[in-house]
Amino acid sequence: MRKTIIAGAAAALLTGLFAANSYADTAASARPDRAKIHQSMCADRAARATGRLAYLEARLNLTEAQKAPFAKYRDAVTANAKAAEQDCLARPEKAKSWDKRPSIVDRQARMQQMLEMKLAELKATRPALETLYASLNADQKAVLDRSGGEGHRHFARWRGDDRHGGMEHKARFQQRDGDKSGPDGSGQQ
């Protein structure tokens, strides 16, 4: 009987070892290829910008005289999107470093770099945007104003734009539901 227990234990141990090895192989092969995910994320930036510009062009219903200023604006935005895509692709370390958090110094250096890129994008697109805006009628200007402009979505939150959960959005829900933003529901911060 003792030999049977030992043989059973050995068989269970071997089965467990083979199962664990097989599971490890499956888990390793099931991991997402982070480099491919990073590359896809970078490529999607230019595609999204192109799609938003095509939608904006359709919504504006441009006249022949307005098509040239829009083309200049579209070209400037597209060039910025492609430059951002190239910058993103040039940083493959992001795909490798998802498991470890960068230091605060590294994060702030990257934030500064991104803000400098955004400022350069704004400076590059602003003349074309101003020319386009001047050529639009009041209804078209309203459409463009609501769109926030290509590539300026992140700044909409900072200015309190209600489409992105800003201050007007919060005020609307406070009116509807009563001001319950304080810790005790009184509305006092």
Whether 39 and 24 map to the same domain: the answer is no
State residue 141's pLDDT score: 94
> Distance between CA 166 and CA 156 in Å, rounded?
8
Q: Give the domain range for residue 8.
A: 1-31
- Average pLDDT of every residue of the chain: 75
Higher pLDDT, 181 or 19: 19
> Distance between CA 163 and CA 140 in Å, rounded?
19
Phi, psi of 51 (to 5 degrees): -65, -45
Residue 73 has a CB neighbour count (10 Å cut-off) of: 25
Residue 177 belongs to some domain of the structure: no
Where does 90-103 have alpha helices with state H?
93-96
Lowest mean pLDDT among 97-101, 120-124, 135-139, 155-159: 155-159
| Average confidence (pLDDT) over 42-71 | 92
Whether 82 and 147 map to the same domain: the answer is yes
Whether 52 and 145 map to the same domain: the answer is yes
pLDDT at 66 over 90: yes
Whether 44 and 80 map to the same domain: the answer is yes
Which tokens in the block code for residue 76?
């400037």
Which tokens in the block code for residue 108?
């702030």
pLDDT category of residue 137 using cuts at 50, 70 and 90: very high
What's the one-letter identity of residue 150?
E
Higher pLDDT, 25 or 79: 79
Residue 140 belongs to some domain of the structure: yes
Where does 31-103 have alpha helices with state H?
34-60, 64-89, 93-96
